[in-house]
Amino acid sequence: MFTLPDLPYRYDALKPAISEKTLRLHHDKHHAAYVKTLNEVLEKLGKTPASLEEVIVESAKGPERRLYNHGAQAWNHAFFWVAMSPSRQQPTQDLAAAIEASLGGLAGLRDAFVKKGLAHFGSGWVWLTADAAGALQVTTTHDAHDMLTEEGITPLTVCDIWEHAYYLDYQNGRKRYLEAWFDALPNWEFAASQLEAAKAGRAPWRHPAPIAAARAA
Ligand code: FE
């Protein structure tokens, strides 16, 4: 079974861009519920996967939409937490050069990120991704959809644009949320390590492995 990963910072660490109240609800209720349902579905199906990545890649192709949706949402949220930092950062070195080459610099990336996030209809995620050659792209996915099934694509960062991520703090102001998020929260050090992995063909960030359930031990 999978456990809910702890936040890598305090609940009040991301304010004012994200309030403590939003972060508590988002992590302790929304993310926790995805993990709980994921475990229930796995138990019902009698599956004991070795990794969450395996669950997602396999269920993406099959009829188990509940398994895919809750598995991918569990993954996306765990990735979202580590993709943010309480201390404001700037992209440096290789990452800064890649942003310059692919998106015309940080201002161009911000513009694309906010525009795509704003234009996205309904729930989903805004991603900055890299291919194996180090070319960057801003893209959005719907609902639970993630990047694990996109061959050769590595996510560098992600912003949750489900309403539960911002409604308490920004109401219908998704643009203000996206701008505040982009300016204050991306963990560019983490994004740089993901880019390095993408270019070197190494494994990028992976979700914490499941713990053995009592009956499986
Ligand atoms: Fe969320």
Residue that finishes a domain, picked among 82, 103, 133: 82
- Whether residue 77 is found in the same domain as residue 118: no
List CB-based neighbours of ion ligand 1 within 5 Å.
Answer: 160, 162, 165
Does 214 score more than 80 pLDDT?
no
Question: Quick check: is 125 in a domain?
Answer: yes
Residue 215 has pLDDT above 90, yes or no: no
CA Rg value for the chain? 17
* CA 107/CA 41 separation, integer angstroms: 43
Question: Do 98 and 61 share a structural domain?
Answer: no
User: 214 lies in a domain?
Assistant: no
194 C-alpha to ligand 1 centroid (Å): 21
Asked whether residue 193 is domain-assigned, the answer is yes
Q: CA 31, CA 78: separation in Å to the nearest integer?
A: 8
| Shared-domain flag, residues 123 and 172 | yes
Q: How far is the CA of 76 from the centre of ligand 1 (A)?
A: 8
Per the structure, the complete domain to which residue 156 belongs is given by 93-200
Q: Whole-structure pTM over 0.95, yes or no?
A: yes
pLDDT at 217: 41
Q: Are residues 113 and 173 in the same domain?
A: yes
Residue 178 lies in a domain: yes
216 pLDDT higher than 60: no
Q: Kindly give the residue spans of alpha helices, DSSP state H, lying in the chain.
A: 20-24, 32-45, 52-61, 65-82, 93-103, 106-119, 167-170, 174-184, 188-200
pLDDT digits (tens, 9 = 90+) for 126-181: 999 999 999 999 999 999 999 999 999 999 999 999 999 999 999 999 999 999 99
Report the C-alpha gap between 2 and 6 in whole angstroms: 12
